[in-house]
Amino acid sequence: MSHRVSLKDYFLQNPNLKYILFGGKGGLGKTTLSAATAYWLASQGRRVVVFSTDPQASLTDIFERNIFGKGEVEIAKNLYALEIDADKRIAEYQEEIRGKIREMYGIEQIPEEIDDYIKSAAAEPAMAESATFDAMVELMSGGNYDFYIFDMMPHGHAIRFLSMAEILDTWVDKIVETRKKADEYGDVASVLSGKGGLAQEDKMLEELTFIRSRLNFVSEMIRDKDHTAFFYVLIPESMPILDTRKALEMFRAFKIPLSGVVVNQIYPVELLKDPTVPAYLKNRISMQQKYMNTIWGEFGPLIRGLVPMLDREPKGLEMISKISRILFG
Ligand SMILES: Nc1ncnc2c1ncn2[C@@H]1O[C@H](COP(=O)(O)OP(=O)(O)OP(=O)(O)O)[C@@H](O)[C@H]1O
Ligand SMILES: [Mg+2]
């Protein structure tokens, strides 16, 4: 027998865990496993919130409750779910930016070209990510829960945030340096004029420092093995295995500890012995078993859970509790 650490063992061995992230390629089971983990923790009497960082209303779908844009909604005892309305937050951002521009330049009306620019920037996918990211930090800073489960957007994004933190660090350092130089040269005119030069730079610096502190918060959170666990979801197919391999390399490069992988959607191998099962399905099962060998060989010690392919989509609390029993016993 191997001494594989199951998901439950992992939680028992790491009693200080607080932030749980599920990552992985699209459509493999991040939302399902996030919900099942949240369900189990809540059933253990812990206060849990599950947060979807996905622009699709996936928690609304799995919990069969309309929670989109409604804040933290109680789903069951100790179990809360939060699905933010990123578009609404972006609209609020735009207003904030307009306000800042008005204040900084002492103007009433934002010039049309600038307003057009603000509008087009809002359409950038990075804006939705940034809004989501803000909401994550806000939720964690609230400190109202024992566990925060993050159903992440398809892989890469979390890591991109980290590289963003590093780029911003350099940027802020550069501005601070320029600021110091300007001081040395005694940029009296700018200081006196109040509105221009250094005063504006200070505002910008303030803003960047704030963004940096937010990014650093998550960057530290993701690397803190004592409080944070990052699980990667895959299924026994070729592309997800390749993706997991690449993700592991990226995680290593960014020095993010990966807490484990969960293999989902495994067809029950017993069906191979059943004469009533059509060859079509048996072929798929054999294919999966071949990939399971690869998975055991490559990620063996990291496997924290194996979840069968169920005969229907796991939706609603009853099905979630079923997955939770499979995962946590
Ligand atoms: N073990 C399972 N058995 C049967 N269906 C499953 C299983 N796990 C997930 N599914 C179904 O597969 C689909 C994808 O799962 P899920 O939504 O959890 O993935 P996801 O990784 O969150 O996807 P996305 O990247 O789109 O957010 C859903 O329809 C879900 O109900
Ligand atoms: Mg999802």
For residue 236 and ligand 1, the question of a CB distance below 6 A is answered with no
**156/83: higher pLDDT:** 83
Q: Say what the pLDDT of residue 89 is.
A: 86
* Cα 58 to ligand 2 centroid, rounded to whole Å: 6
From the CA of 24, the nearest ligand is: 1
Ligand 1 site, residue 263, Cβ cutoff 6 A: no
- Choose which residue among 21, 25, 31 to substitute to test ligand 1 binding: the one with the highest number of ligand atoms within 8 A of its C-beta: 31
Instruction: Look at residue 227 in the predicted model and tell me its pLDDT.
Output: 95
Contact 23 CB / ligand 1 (< 6 Å)? no
What pLDDT score was predicted for residue 186? Answer: 60
Residue 240 alpha carbon to ligand 1 centre in Å: 14
Of 247, 256, 255, 253, the residue nearest 299 (C-alpha): 247
Handedness of CA 55, 89, 34, 218 (dihedral sign): positive
Q: Residue of the nearest CA to atom 5 in ligand 1? A: 313
**Weakest-pLDDT range from 13-22, 201-210, 227-236:** 201-210
- Kindly give the number of the ligand 1 atom that is closest to the alpha carbon of 62: 31
> Does 219 have pLDDT greater than 50?
yes
Does residue 127's CB lie within 6 angstroms of at least one atom of ligand 1? Answer: no
In this structure, which residue's CA is closest to atom 23 in ligand 1?
A: 27
Statement: residue 1 has pLDDT above 50: no
User: Could you tell which of 32, 51, 284 is best to mutate to test the pocket of ligand 1, judged by most ligand atoms within 8 Å of the CB?
Assistant: 32
Closest CA to 249 of 185, 166, 155: 155
Q: Burial of 187 by CB count in 10 Å (0-12 exposed, 13-18 middle, 19+ buried)?
A: middle
Rounded Cα gap, residues 33 and 29, in angstroms: 6
Q: Looking at the CA of 232, which ligand is closest? A: 1
Distance 99 CA to ligand 2 centre (A): 35
pLDDT of residue 184: 66
34 lines ligand 1 (CB under 6 A): no
Distance between Cα 164 and ligand 2 center (Å): 23
The tens digit of pLDDT for each residue in 146-200 reads 999 999 877 656 666 666 666 667 777 777 777 777 766 665 555 555 545 566 6
Higher pLDDT, residue 139 or 153 = 139
Query: What's the distance, Cα to Cα, between the start and end of the chain in Å?
Result: 18
Q: Whose CA is nearest to atom 18 of ligand 1?
A: 29
Residue 171 Cα, ligand 1 centroid: separation in angstroms? 39
pTM, two decimals, is 0.87
Is 154 near ligand 1, meaning CB less than 6 Å away? Answer: yes
Instruction: Please state, rounded to an integer, the average pLDDT across all residues of the chain.
Output: 87
Q: Does residue 28's CB lie within 6 angstroms of at least one atom of ligand 1?
A: yes
Going by alpha carbons, the residue nearest to atom 16 of ligand 1 is 29
pLDDT digits (tens, 9 = 90+) for 246-297: 989 988 888 888 999 999 999 999 999 999 999 999 999 999 999 999 999 9
Ligand nearest to the CA of 322: 1
